[in-house]
A = this chain, B = another copy of it.
Amino acid sequence: MPDPLIQPKVLAFDVFGTVVDWYGSIAREVDAMQLGVSGDEFALAWRAGYQPAMRRVMAGELGWTLIDDLHRMILGELLRRFGIAHLDEAGKKHLNKVWHRLAPWPDSAPGLARLKTRFMICTLSNGNIGLLADMAKNAGLPWDCILSAEVFRAYKPDPATYLGVARVFDVAPHEVMLVAAHHDDLAGARACGLRSAYIERPLEFGAGQPKDVSPRPENELHAASLLALAAQLGC
C-alpha cells in the first residue's frame, strides 16, 4: 500500500452512485411521468441492464458504444417489458437523458469544492463526456476535468482507464486516488497501483435494498461522505 503520509495529487471519482443518486433521481422522474409503472422497479431494471450491455461491447459483440447509446438500447427493452408502448420518440429521447440530470448526494458539491482546493479533481466514469458535462452543469459539480471511458475508449475496470488518468496528468499511478462506492472499481484501481477511498452510499439502490457499507481493510480510506473524505485529507 502506498505511504499514507504522501498525499495523492489527483482524485478521480466514480460518478454513478458515488457522486450522484441514480436510483432516486430516476425513480422520482419515472413516477412523475405517471406511466403506470413503478419508478423504483424501473430504475433498478435500467441500471441492471448496464453491466450486461457493457460486456457485449467488451466481448466485441458490439463496437465501441457510448453509455448514452447503451442506456437507449436498454430503455427500448424496458419499455416493451413494462408495456409502455405509447411514449413517442421525443419522450424516449428526453427520458434517456434523465442520466444527464441525476441529482448529487447532498454532500457531493460542497465536498468536491473543498477537495478541489488541494487536489486536481476529475471524473473517471463509464458515462460519456457530454453526459458528465451536462450533469456537472446541472448539479453544480466543480470538476477540474471530465475524464471518461470515452477518452480512453475502454470501460472500467479496464486498466487503460485507471492508468489513463495517471498518464493524462503525467503523474505516477500511486499519485492518483480513485474515490468510489464500489469495491470492484476500487480493486481494479489498486491492481494498477492507484490508491483507493471507499465512500458509503447505503441507499444507492434505494431504501428497499440497503447496501452493506462496512469498512474493508484493502481500501486505504473509508468515509461516510465526500465532506468526511475532505476532512480526512486535511481540506
Residues of A within 8 A of B (CB): 68, 120, 122, 128-130, 132-134, 136-137, 144-147, 150-151, 168-170
Asked if residues A120 and B137 are in contact (CB atoms below 8 Å), the reply is yes
Question: Which residues from B are CB-within-8-Å of A145?
Answer: 129, 132-133, 136, 146
Q: How far is the CB of A134 from chain B (nearest CB, A)?
A: 8
From A68, A128, A145, residue with most partner B Cβ within 10 Å: A145
Given contacts A68-B170, A130-B169, A130-B170, contact A144 B137 (CB under 8 A): yes
Question: Which residues from B are CB-within-8-Å of A170?
Answer: 68, 130
Bound: A130/B144 CA distance, A: 10
From A122, A128, A168, residue with most partner B Cβ within 10 Å: A168
Q: 7 tightest A-B contacts by CB?
A: A133-B145, A130-B168, A130-B169, A129-B168, A145-B146, A137-B144, A133-B144
Bound: A144/B130 CA distance, A: 10
Q: How far is the CB of A5 from chain B (nearest CB, A)?
A: 23
Asked if residues B151 and A133 are in contact (CB atoms below 8 Å), the reply is no
Question: Which residues from B are CB-within-8-Å of A122?
Answer: 133
Bound: A122/B137 CA distance, A: 12
